[in-house]
Chain A
């Protein structure tokens, strides 16, 4: 198997590349939602700025004062922005919840997904994944509690030393720990989703239990798999942001747009890379389970039938 030779990490990337139609499609939906969410703002900004000489302050650089000035206008085009963005983002969450079944079916079954098969899988798993989302919310509660606890501890550490460094280091360490915990939780739930799709597992608590067992037994390899992809995603995102802010000419609207979309595309692609890698990992795991010599119970000992008792 080619995937096995390359390793799950690279094979996952190859799988995303192979079914790149999925990435483009989801990206397009995300972009359309983004454009919809900002449409009203753009219209109002256009009517205010297109014929205004003061708009050149925005054209020729990111003039913070111009942005703040816009924000402070009584009929600011930016005032409607927040609500719209949140609404369309939530819509995108629902969309992703729906298509995840189709995505995983494509990755896990290693077959070219037809549109019908994709949406059948998506619809088939939608409510299962919705239940998983509820389980996820429950699992995230202790992490939220941990975050609150570290916040309280941060205040205590801050009060204990006049040097700002101990509290800063504590906050940084706590943030890293919480981030890693979140990656682990996502890894666990992603595995449960893969099991649900591959095994057609209806009971999500059972899928979670099995995923937890797998994760426990193969923690380091799976975690390292996810962490590597995450690091690549963060690094590329940071680089993109740096390039946008520090290197790109302020007048380069088109380039800025393309760069920003590339960043979103990479972010989306790396997330699917994680899912594809985990699906592949599970396929390999299953294959290993099948190819291993099956355990057969030892033959039952043969006994001579008990001698018949003498009959009277």
Chain B
């Protein structure tokens, strides 16, 4: 590889980002970096691939050594062929037409440029010979016989428990024009989900789902040794350590990568990348950082770097050590943004644009989010097909925490002088977009629409975890996530594993909450239905010439709280009276409403449910309070803006006359 355009900005970036998030004290966890594997290595992939950057095709061969740790003989093995999703008759495209997917709405038209494929030219099994003819496409999730994203092969004889089997596969890929995380744009190739990948034996069965419009991935841990051959002008980034680089006589370079204790391998190539290198030192030693920046985007490099270093720092501090010695951030070029915002082990794709405003923290939160997946997906390798909230939801929650810590609670999403927005609210809005159609715990391809999938899996999951944090305490929540991470890293935990860990760490029975927030579709909305004070002797007219307040000394105050949604949640009520006295109430929130009554020598000044704004799942915070003295300024401000908008539109249309 010839790095013709390497700009090492380490010094400048270290000045801007380094001191904030650097951590030099290695903890005892560093001992984990010894030769002992971090994961149970089920698979060992050796792949040789050659990229044709003009045709955007890859010719490759793969040797997969699968170790049978299932505890029983295995004769039939399923494999993913994800790239075949990008064909008009696939299940993926059928679902996109029906309900949309990221970047594409329902009724999307088929664009032939988005055609992608992976073809197995030959499949041999050691000791069994050529089994290409034994390959059989299967459709475990639907009856779409045209879908070719999963095949299985049955061996002549079973593989005994503890034994290994070696598959040798010759295949070739046709990359689509960038769609769903993968493909090419101009001279940029993002190569993800590109090789035949064996399914996972999980819960006593093979788990190998078809590629759906809303699903991501699931695989076993192991090692990857990948040789990538590209023209010498290509700059390559990959999810592995570069072991060697050899220039070939035909003008190509072969790069050899090694990666272990990961469950996937992806890479990218483009002659137009500008490489920015830096490093960060965490509790497990130094981590090399590679940013691969596309043309016109260099202004975002320091922003990526600050977000990445901040994420490394806070994940290391709060949830557990980052055990890998590298992380690569790929910045897709314009026209290739659909390749952005994706996670692979030790390689993530971010996203920016040439005119990205400083106040819109999109490069930052995308970088943070995708880095967070190194933990929630990369190491805690949950089943993204079946329990997507365990990676996207938990990751969205930690995104809120980390972004708030770096950029401020109120300004971690938008930070303009005239408008601001925090990550907590952003996740709430996502949730409230479609709050009650699907539960959090649902198979990813079973959501009513891609919008519902996104709103629930990301937004609701994060919001319900933020509310949960208020219930059990921020420190306890952090401790619970730390415990969950340390206990389940390099394994495939389930929803119950996560929920039980929280209950265990908090010492609380939280089923009442999980049953509604995770397994239910109830919406939470408590409202202050009524609050007013009446003279106790209301029938007694005021004396002539005196004000009512001078005569009447005792008032009866009523405060009525209503549960408008089906989600039950205990709420606190704070009432203030105009003599400065207060009353505090705690309601279990189970009934539809409750009324409190006070007889005092004071009138009500204000009443507020959830005064400290802890119940972020509450759909409508505007009805949570009552202030006796009306303040019309908010409504006036809205009116000002909309009157102006109305007049402005009138003027524009009047241009026609």
Binding site for B on A (CB under 8 A): 30-31, 33-35, 37-38, 41-42, 45-46, 48-56, 58-59, 61-65, 67-70, 72-74, 77-78, 81, 84-86, 88-90, 92-93, 96-97, 100, 129, 133, 136, 158-159, 161-165, 167-168, 186, 245-246, 251, 253, 256-257, 260-261, 263-264, 267-268, 271
Contact = CB atoms under 8 A, between A and B. Distances in A.
B295 A31 contact: no
Given A58-B633, A256-B637, 17 more contacts: A35-B643, A42-B638, A45-B639, A46-B632, A49-B635, A53-B627, A62-B419, A64-B419, A65-B421, A78-B638, A92-B653, A159-B335, A161-B186, A162-B333, A251-B633, A253-B637, A271-B655
A68 B637 contact: no
A168 to B, nearest CB: 6
Interface string B619-647: 11111111110111111111110111111
Contacts of A63: 419-421
B425 A68 contact: yes
B622 A264 contact: no
Contacts of A268: 651
Contact of A65 (B425, B628, B646, B650): B425
Contacts of A260: 640, 643-644
B644 A54 contact: no
Contact of B657 (A72, A77, A85, A133): A133
Contacts of A90: 653
A165 B335 CA distance: 12
A186 B631 contact: no
B656 interface: yes
A76 B621 CA distance: 13
B642 A85 contact: yes
B296 A54 contact: no
Contacts of B335: 158-159, 162
Given A59-B631, A245-B417, A264-B651, A165 B644 contact: no
23 contacts: A37-B642, A38-B639, A45-B635, A59-B631, A64-B414, A64-B421, A65-B425, A69-B620, A69-B621, A77-B638, A81-B642, A88-B646, A133-B657, A136-B656, A158-B334, A162-B294, A163-B296, A165-B296, A167-B334, A168-B354, A245-B417, A267-B651, A271-B651
A285 to B, nearest CB: 23
B654 interface: yes
A54 B624 contact: yes
Contact of A59 (B425, B633, B644): B633
A42 B623 contact: no
Nearest 10 pairs of A and B residues by beta carbon: A65-B425, A55-B634, A162-B186, A53-B625, A92-B650, A245-B418, A58-B634, A164-B334, A260-B644, A34-B643
Given A31-B647, A73-B622, A59 B419 contact: no
B353 interface: yes
B186 A38 contact: no
A271 B647 CA distance: 14
Contact of A52 (B272, B429, B432, B627): B627
A253 B634 CA distance: 9
B656 to A, nearest CB: 6
A268 B628 CA distance: 42
A139 to B, nearest CB: 11
A194 to B, nearest CB: 14
B593 to A, nearest CB: 18
B649 interface: yes
B612 to A, nearest CB: 12
A164 B295 contact: yes
Nearest to B651: A267
Contacts of A86: 649
Given A35-B643, A58-B634, A129 B657 contact: yes
Given A52-B623, A72-B429, A162-B294, A38 B643 contact: yes
A161 B630 CA distance: 58
B376 interface: no
Contacts of B270: 162
Interface in B318-352: 333-335
Nearest to B625: A53
Interface residues of B, number: 66
A50 B649 contact: no
B638 A61 contact: no
B429 A65 contact: yes
Nearest to A52: B622
Nearest to B621: A54
B195 interface: no
A53 to B, nearest CB: 4
Nearest to B273: A162
A62 B640 CA distance: 12
Given A52-B625, A72-B433, A260-B640, A46 B635 contact: yes
B341 to A, nearest CB: 18
B608 A30 contact: no
The residue among B353, B621, B637, B646 with the most chain A CB atoms within 10 A of its own CB is B646
A252 to B, nearest CB: 10
Interface string B186-197: 111000000000
A53 B647 CA distance: 30
Nearest to A257: B640
Contacts of A50: 630-632, 634-635
A49 B622 contact: yes
A271 B335 CA distance: 39
A10 to B, nearest CB: 23
A64 B428 CA distance: 13
Given A30-B650, A38-B642, A41-B639, A51 B627 contact: yes
Contacts of A256: 637, 640
Contacts of A59: 631, 633-634, 637
B649 A85 contact: yes
Nearest to B628: A51
A62 to B, nearest CB: 5
Contacts of A186: 655
Contacts of B648: 264, 267
B422 interface: yes
Interface in B287-333: 294-296, 333
Contacts of A84: 646
A43 B624 CA distance: 19
The residue among B186, B296, B639, B655 with the most chain A CB atoms within 10 A of its own CB is B639
Nearest to A63: B420
A30 B635 contact: no
Contact of A93 (B187, B414, B624, B650): B650
A100 B657 contact: yes
Interface in B554-609: 606, 608
A55 B631 contact: yes
A34 B626 contact: no
A74 B433 CA distance: 10
Contacts of A246: 417-418
B462 to A, nearest CB: 15
Contacts of B656: 93, 133, 136
B651 A253 contact: no
The residue among B353, B620, B624 with the most chain A CB atoms within 10 A of its own CB is B620
Contacts of B655: 186, 271
A41 B644 CA distance: 14
A35 B645 CA distance: 11
A58 B619 CA distance: 18
A72 B66 CA distance: 50
Contacts of A48: 622-623
Contacts of B355: 168
Given A38-B646, A136-B656, A158-B334, A69 B417 contact: no
